[in-house]
Amino acid sequence: MKPVKLSEFWQYATVEKRPTRDGYGEALLELGKNNPDVVVLTADLAESTRVLPFQQKYPDRFVECGVAEQNMMGVAAGLALAGKIPFVSSYAVFSPGRNWDQLRVSVCYTKANVKIAGAHTGISVGPDGATHQALEDLALTRVIPDLVVMAPCDAEETRKCTLAAAAYKGPVYFRFAREKTPVMTVKDTPFEIGKANVCREGYDVTIIACGPLLHQALMAAEKLAGKGIEAEVINCHTLKPLDAKTILQSVKTTRCVVTVEEHQITGGLFGAVSEALAKTFPVPIEPVGMPNSFGESGAPDELLAKYGMTEKQIILAAQRVIKRK
């Protein structure tokens, strides 16, 4: 399949680096200006979830809930049922970690048009340690009926993801990260909920990634090419609804898959891809992700290396899975 357009600098050290959460804050300002129904809530994390500029500019459409995530989710449901488009902003370990019941019943079962933004996801949260590293949020959200689940790959895609969430009618969860990561996509890279983007063509193995680790996947593919292995790389930014069509089309050629995510290897992207392919076109799949354990304090790069979510691990996984064909 024809790959989407990426930044011409994506593989160089000069690539722009920004935290994905910045894209969220920018999009909210755009939405604040263009849509008076957009409302933002936070639970004492306005600065680090990047909603502070919205609060300063649109104080009448901002609700500071204090450190009370369960109430925040319910209040958002009430706002949505009254016609608003609320964005619930906190760390993913608390929201949806702590208010999953409210997400399930007050928001999703009620079909309330609420957008939930989970910040500080992945092991790369770093020094805060295991309690603050959300590695289960995709599993928690993916099991709830009718909830859209997204993991954008960089700040630009997070901006588009936020705008798309506002335009979509129904509950949406999306996650972002704390650290600066390469901005691979550009303004005219397409983004559509439920439509995976092929970023690199190949025929030996399909690497399906979500979130900022997409960069590692693309770098791994370049290295694999040097070893004579042509990998197709898919940016699967939407985990639910999963773009099984694009994945299947790729896998019919490559006949093996590596999934890459900053999440437990159970219940997230590996789970979603395995479920889809087991039903339609079973092939060997190797996961790169958190190996069923809790994280710890450390520098982001050290942690990604220790727990096996790097370019090197992706290369090894690709070589292993090709042998299993």
Partner 1 sequence: MRKTVKQMGLIANQIRQDIIKMLVKAGSGHSAGPLGMADVFTALYFGGIANVDPKLRHDPKRDRVVLSNAHICPVLYATLARRGYFPLAELKTLRQLGSRLQGHSNSHFDIGIETSGGPLGQGISQAVGMAIASRMNSQQSSVNSRQSISSKLTTNDRRQTTYHTWCLESDGEFDEGQTWEAYLLAGKMNLRELTTIIDRNNIQIDGFTEDIMPLEDFAKKLRAFNWFVIEVDGHNIRSILDAMRQAKSQAANPTAIICHTIPGKGVDFMENKFEWHGKPPNRDEARIALHELRTLGGKIKSEHE
Stretch that binds partner 1, among 81-89, 147-155, 172-180, 304-312 (CB under 8 A): 81-89
Near partner 1 by CB under 8 A: residue from 106, 133, 197, 246: 106
* Per-position x/- string for 15-34, each x denoting binding to partner 1 as judged by CB under 8 A, each - no binding: ------------------xx
- Positions annotated as catalytic residues are 69
- The verdict on 319 binding partner 1 (CB under 8 A) reads no
Least distance from partner 1 to the Cβ atom of residue 193, Å = 17
Q: Does 76 bind partner 1 (CB under 8 A)?
A: yes
CB of 177 to partner 1, least distance (A): 28
The contacts of residue 176 (CB under 8 Å, 6+ apart) are 19, 20, 21, 23, 24, 117, 118, 119, 121, 152, 158
Q: How far apart are CA 300 and CA 131, in angstroms?
A: 15
Residue 211 tokens read as 């979130």
Q: How far is the CB of 65 from partner 1 (least distance, A)?
A: 6
For partner 1, the closer of residues 102 and 235 by Cβ is 102
Surface-to-core class of residue 305, CB atoms within 10 Å of its CB (0-12 exposed, 13-18 middle, 19+ buried): middle
- Residue in 208, 20, 206, 43 with CA at minimum distance from that of residue 122: 20
Please pick, from the candidates 50, 84, 159, 263, the single residue that binds partner 1 as defined by CB under 8 A.
84
Q: Which of 66, 190, 241, 291 binds partner 1 (CB under 8 A)?
A: 66
Interface mask toward partner 1 for 37-56; x: CB under 8 A: x-x-----------------
Q: Which residue stretch of 74-82, 117-125, 231-239, 258-266 sits at the interface with partner 1 (rule: CB under 8 A)?
A: 74-82
* Interface with partner 1, residue 35, by CB under 8 A: yes
Residue 72 or 257 having the CB closest to partner 1? 72
| Binding flag, residue 109, partner 1 (CB under 8 A) | yes
> Could you tell me the end-to-end alpha-carbon distance of the chain, in angstroms, rounded to an integer?
22
List of residues contacting partner 1 (CB under 8 A): 33-37, 39, 60-61, 63, 65-66, 68, 70-84, 86, 101-102, 105-106, 109-111
